[in-house]
């Protein structure tokens, strides 16, 4: 019988057991392979544990069912199970976008798992809430249009979305990289997961975070406005906001050295 670790391609990089483990949780449209941009800088200080979300790769498709992953709690439960299966407790966790929010939920479900939250371009809610002066970045009509476009022609949507989400127009190879990782996701799974991500509202949950939290955000991000990062910093008691000097939604790809530096400084 295949284990969760096998289905999710769980791996630990680095063999020096005197170094602490940093657990890494990727975001939508990528897999654990995205962390190779940070590996060289972080392996000097940490062993790096990483895995693929259900539905992110051909192998992890074995673990994906729409009913289990109808909210981010399904992904958070996987994270808890993988930590227990691999005896990972009392460690820092780094998560990008939906991976960051999955780590947040896991930390609230199991306070013994994580010592620190390191969040890259996270958002507890993508939809605008003008009644409460919250600018998540998307109106209800924006999201309906987004889902319709993904459903109509996923690969055409990827071609348009990937370079905008990546930013850094002077480095088009980065947009191509993200487009290629998005294309590796099965279109029906991509649509289902996108519906889940963009419908979340975990603003109440983030107020319950008690462990030290680092929020890393760019000034310009099509998916997560800077307002969201500032909102999170103001609502998470022990949090710090650091601006990464790049643009786009994947600063660990476009500015990995600065991201690695922020991580090392925060965990010292």
Please identify which of the residues 26, 53, 116, 249 carries the catalytic annotation.
249
Q: Is 249 a catalytic site residue?
A: yes
CA 75 to chain centre: 11
Exactly one of 97, 102, 123, 254 is catalytic; name it.
97
The first and second tokens of residue 148, run together, are 């319709």
Catalytic residue among 26, 60, 78, 221: 221
Look up 97 and say whether it is catalytic: yes
Cα atoms found within 13 Å of the Cα of residue 35, Cβ hemisphere only: 25
Pairing of strands 213-218, 239-244: parallel
Report the catalytic residues: 97, 221, 249
């Amino acid at each position: 019988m295949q284990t969760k670790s096998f289905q999710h391609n769980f791996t630990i990089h680095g063999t020096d057991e005197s170094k602490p483990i940093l657990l890494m949780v990727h975001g939508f449209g990528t897999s654990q392979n995205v962390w190779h941009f940070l590996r060289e800088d972080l392996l000097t200080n940490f062993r790096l544990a990483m895995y693929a979300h259900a539905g992110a790769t051909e192998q992890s498709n074995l673990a994906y069912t729409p009913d289990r992953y109808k909210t981010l709690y399904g992904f958070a439960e996987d994270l808890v199970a993988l930590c227990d299966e691999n005896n990972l407790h009392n460690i820092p966790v780094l998560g990008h976008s939906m991976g960051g929010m999955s780590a947040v939920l896991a930390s609230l479900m199991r306070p013994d798992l994580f010592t620190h939250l390191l969040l890259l371009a996270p958002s507890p809610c993508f939809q605008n809430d003008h009644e409460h002066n919250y600018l998540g970045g998307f109106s209800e009509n924006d999201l309906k249009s987004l889902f319709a476009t993904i459903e109509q022609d996923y690969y055409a949507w990827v071609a348009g979305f990937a370079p905008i989400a990546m930013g850094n127009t002077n480095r088009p190879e980065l947009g191509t990289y993200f487009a290629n990782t998005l294309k590796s996701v099965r279109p029906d799974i991509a649509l289902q997961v996108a519906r889940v991500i963009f419908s979340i509202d975990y603003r109440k949950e983030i107020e319950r975070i008690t462990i030290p939290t680092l929020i890393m955000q760019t000034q310009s991000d099509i998916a997560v406005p800077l307002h969201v990062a500032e909102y999170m910093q103001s609502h998470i008691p022990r949090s710090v906001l650091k601006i990464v000097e790049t643009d786009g939604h994947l600063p660990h790809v476009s500015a990995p050295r600065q991201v690695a530096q922020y991580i090392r400084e925060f965990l010292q």
